[in-house]
Structure 1
Amino acid sequence: MTAGTTTEVTAGASGNAYDRLRAEAAAGRIEEVVVAVPDLQGRLMGSRLSVPYFLEEAARQGFGACVYLLASDVEMDTGPGYAIDAWNSGFGDFVLRPDPATLRTCLPWDDGTALVLADAVWPDGEPVAVAPRRVLRAQLDKLAERGLAAYAGTELEFLVFGESYREAWERRYTGLRPATRYNVDYSLQGLEGIEPVVRRIRREMVRAGLAMETARAECHPGQYEIVFRYAEAMATCDNHVFFKNGAKQIAAAEGAALTFMPKFDEGEGNSCHIHLSLRGTDGSAVLADAGAGDGMSELMRHFVAGQLACLPDFALLMAPNVNSYKRLQPGAFAPTGITWGRDNRTCPVRVVGSGPSLRIEHRVPGGDANPYLAVAAAVAAGLYGIEHRLPLPAPHTANALADASVPRLPTTLAEALHRWETSEIAAEVFGEQVVAHYAQAARTELSAFERAVTDWERMRGFERL
């Protein structure tokens, strides 16, 4: 299929969004539109379209893009084993169908540009089942069948360095200068090296339409966290990938570099804690029960129990890379066991809030997590607990990181891959195609790592072995 062969997009609610784009273009403020799809890593991939072409063609019919975008690793390498076999299918196209609800006509760091996210569909209009947005949508649809809706918030940490991305690349990402010199967790001083970059990120994200809640420096030198307002789960994930993409562009414009990788060095890692709650489609707070001693409804108890039951099998969707498991190690203030607690940050599942704000905080995902997949995993686990009426064990009240009796999370990507592709639960709730596709993504990551020779190996063995 070529870019000119498209499928019709229903008008629906697109009118107001695209009318706004048309008005901005007529006023000379928008010259082109980026149509982007989140890939397996949660990165935005796509093309720049002229406004007339977008409005006259792509907004109605979609836009063709190569299928390998959803079947490649971080290096953009593809191969056999994925559910989408780009090589054997001739590197054809699927269709990127713009979602008008995601249109942003203000990108302060990219003047004259609008951006819209798209769903990948086949030429016959069938959704691409393994696309991250589709994986999440399938779980949200299952919630809707029960009269439920998911709301989420993500808390992303990142490290800022004084070098540009080009300088960092040429140094092979070694010997970089963190933008703060020491632990500045919650500090209001010592931030002069980082504040110009993060101030611009904060302000321009708000101008772009994100609702910021809090921002502060973190433990690792150069580490920072910006938290945006919770929203319906899909919208939160869309905001998440938009933020990561834009933050890197802003850092580059400032001559700096930032990374979301879970574990840059032996210091504190970058997390992506996910706050998740359910409501009735009528807006009711279904997780809370004022009459219960712990304030939790029976539905919430099953929902939390499902997280614990599925966590070992679904870990791959929350920790998808080799580096993910460097963060999930003892002594790193990241989860290592499978348990839950009330306001207990040493547990992977922390129950926090009360009444309408009652929710879980999932502390396993790191900064590399694809938000669509991580939230889909948490929603699917909760649904599994609800459907099977799983009982909830007593909360962990002590330090779960130091308790050897707590069942352990997978400690490597290889272990998580084995749990994922042999899981009857994963096959039941996600389908065999999705399981196989993301198993291949993990195998590709492992294969690349196992072929690599690291600096650690050279330092250890060059002279002394």
Structure 2
Amino acid sequence: MSDAPYARLREDAAHGRIDEVIVGVPDLQGRIQGSRLSAPYFLDEAARNGFGACVYLLAADVDMNTGPGYALDAWRSGFGDLVLHPDPATLRTLPWDEGTALVLADAVGQDGEPVEVAPRQVLRTQLDRLAARGLTAFAGTELEFLVFGESYRTAWERRYAGLRPATDYNVDYSLQGLSAIEPVTRRIRREMVRAGLSMETARGECHPGQYEIVFRYAEAMTTCDNHVFFKYGAKRIAEQEGVALTFMPKYDEGEGNSCHIHLSLRGTDGSAVFADPSAADGMSELMRHFVAGQLACLPDFALLMAPNVNSYKRLKPGAFAPTGIAWGRDNRTCPIRVVGTGHSLRIEHRVPGGDANPYLAVAAAVAAGLHGIENALTAPPPHAANALADASVPQLPGTLTEALHRWENSELVAKVFGPEVVRHYAQAARTELAAFETAVTDWERVRGFERL
């Protein structure tokens, strides 16, 4: 392998600026899991030949519990290793971790074939389908998070209850009331830019302690890589600042944390294939088909957008998150919002929450759009009114159980993603449901301890 992709790293290692490299793989939850390697070992061995990591990293729940039922079954394989092949395009230094670089990797089986169910591979499969049509996907993600005054350790000891938000009230677009949140959010903004991300905007949001940082759009895989890097780094910086932040979709009864995904297509020549200046609304026929595909596939693909029990607490009436299946021009009450003009003409997919795995959510949106294009689907007229209050609008799955049923019983899902991916992510959902259904919640204790 040529040394060119790692020439700067080798120079930094030689001069003592970098002594460790984290090799990480995005897991089913979109977290970066991996190991720290000495820089010389990474450059001489792992960068060339890959690095072994246990297969269960891609077949475990949020507690790292695994079991039979996954398509990639750790028990059946005797907890053997995958091979992680670093992607040099993802290499970056960590401003919050002196002397450390991080590189994301693709998972490969012992047979040398890509692991089909790995999130990066799920997305790459759909992007390859686009490429076969001469198309490229560009994406941007808008992540919201809540900041609390307590440290992660204190939050854990309190079982995450009774925490103090870093702002006292709704600071949506506010330029005041942010003094307690600004030290950590400013550091996050600065250090993400130092790490190579291009920030666009940042502002307070509706829920006390809520904030949003938006980074520049890029080709879809790059955006998803930046997304998981940002979540990892933001939590580490918060930890160092002695505070805690969460991306969970619904921390309490207040406003949830969303992850709106902006998505557009371009030709391989850079042309804005979504735009048609001669059309009254500026939308090309291809874009109309793409939008129609989103609506047609939303019920069956919801599992990849909303993968957890908590995801559906956000997608409830009155929560200012979509519940129906509709599209509109600059209509935030619809799950598919069309915005922009010319090269910026795009959809904003408003279903995913802060827990969404970006690779899977973007893969689902691309696959849905391709379904619309391949079948020349026709979208209904844009919804101009409040889709949240319109009883005539078809509804999204209301629970993880319903989303799982749609996912497992959809011929379209099987055709688009393949049986291994269907089985693997169905098992992830079943594992999540089993954990929830055996848990006793605070709500149950308050409701039933004395009065039942």
Which residue does 2:368 correspond to in 1?
381
User: Among residues 187, 207, 211, which one is paired with 2:174 in the alignment?
Assistant: 187
Question: Counterparts of 2:65 and 2:212 in 1: how far apart (Å)?
Answer: 31
Which residue does 2:252 correspond to in 1?
265
Tell whether the 8 Å contact from 1:17 to 1:103 is kept in structure 2 after alignment.
Answer: no
State the 1:318 CA deviation. Answer: 0.4
User: Among residues 444, 447, 451, which one is paired with 1:460 in the alignment?
Assistant: 447
Question: Counterparts of 2:210 and 2:133 in 1: how far apart (Å)?
Answer: 41
Tell whether the 8 Å contact from 1:63 to 1:96 is kept in structure 2 after alignment.
Answer: yes
For each residue in 1:225-280, what CA deviation from the matched residue of structure 2 results, as whole angstroms up to 9, or x when unmatched? 00000000000000000000000000000000000000000000000000000000
State the 1:89 CA deviation. Answer: 1.3
Which residue does 1:42 correspond to in 2?
30
| Residue 102, structure 1, aligned to residue 95, structure 2 | no
1:179-218 map, 5 Å: 179-218=166-205
State the 1:125 CA deviation. Answer: 1.4
Which residue does 1:306 correspond to in 2?
293
Tell whether the 8 Å contact from 1:38 to 1:133 is kept in structure 2 after alignment.
Answer: yes
State the 1:123 CA deviation. Answer: 1.8
After the TM superposition, which parts of structure 1 deviate over 6 Å for at least 4 consecutive aligned residues? none
User: Among residues 13, 16, 22, which one is paired with 1:28 in the alignment?
Assistant: 16
| Residue 91, structure 1, aligned to residue 79, structure 2 | yes
Question: Counterparts of 1:15 and 1:282 in 2: how far apart (Å)?
Answer: 30
Question: Counterparts of 1:183 and 1:17 in 2: how far apart (Å)?
Answer: 46
Which residue does 1:51 correspond to in 2?
39
State the 1:17 CA deviation. Answer: 2.6
Give SS of 2:249's match. Answer: coil
| Residue 333, structure 1, aligned to residue 316, structure 2 | no
Which residue does 1:349 correspond to in 2?
336
User: Among residues 447, 453, 456, which one is paired with 2:434 in the alignment?
Assistant: 447
Question: Counterparts of 1:204 and 1:254 in 2: how far apart (Å)?
Answer: 13
State the 1:27 CA deviation. Answer: 1.7
For each residue in 1:164-220, what CA deviation from the matched residue of structure 2 results, as whole angstroms up to 9, or x when unmatched? 000000000011000000001000101111000100000000000000000000000
TM-score (norm. length: structure 1): 0.97
Tell whether the 8 Å contact from 2:188 to 2:237 is kept in structure 1 after alignment.
Answer: yes
Which residue does 2:124 correspond to in 1?
137
Unpaired segments ≥5 residues, structure 2: none
Which residue does 1:432 correspond to in 2?
419
Task: State the one-letter code of the partner of 1:208.
Answer: A
1:353-364 map, 5 Å: 353-364=340-351
Question: Counterparts of 1:224 and 1:125 in 2: how far apart (Å)?
Answer: 42
State the 1:294 CA deviation. Answer: 1.1
Which residue does 2:239 correspond to in 1?
252
For each residue in 1:28-65, what CA deviation from the matched residue of structure 2 results, as whole angstroms up to 9, or x when unmatched? 11001000000000000000001111111100100000
For each residue in 1:394-422, what CA deviation from the matched residue of structure 2 results, as whole angstroms up to 9, or x when unmatched? 00000000000000000000000000010
Which residue does 1:17 correspond to in 2?
5
Tell whether the 8 Å contact from 2:68 to 2:75 is kept in structure 1 after alignment.
Answer: yes
For each residue in 1:262-317, what CA deviation from the matched residue of structure 2 results, as whole angstroms up to 9, or x when unmatched? 00000000000000000001100000000011110000000000000000000000
Give SS of 1:81's match. Answer: coil
State the 1:16 CA deviation. Answer: 3.1
Which residue does 1:403 correspond to in 2?
390
Which residue does 1:276 correspond to in 2?
263
Question: Counterparts of 2:133 and 2:261 in 1: how far apart (Å)?
Answer: 22
State the 1:66 CA deviation. Answer: 0.3
Give SS of 2:21's match. Answer: strand
Of 21-30 and 140-149, deviating more is: 21-30
Give SS of 1:119's match. Answer: strand
Tell whether the 8 Å contact from 2:50 to 2:86 is kept in structure 1 after alignment.
Answer: yes
Question: Counterparts of 2:338 and 2:11 in 1: how far apart (Å)?
Answer: 45
| Residue 73, structure 1, aligned to residue 53, structure 2 | no
Unpaired segments ≥5 residues, structure 1: 1-10
User: Among residues 165, 169, 194, which one is paired with 1:178 in the alignment?
Assistant: 165
Tell whether the 8 Å contact from 2:13 to 2:40 is kept in structure 1 after alignment.
Answer: no
Tell whether the 8 Å contact from 1:150 to 1:233 is kept in structure 2 after alignment.
Answer: yes
For each residue in 1:67-103, what CA deviation from the matched residue of structure 2 results, as whole angstroms up to 9, or x when unmatched? 0000000000000000011112100001000001100
Which residue does 2:410 correspond to in 1?
423
Which residue does 2:103 correspond to in 1?
116
Question: Counterparts of 1:187 and 1:41 in 2: how far apart (Å)?
Answer: 32
Which residue does 1:64 correspond to in 2?
52
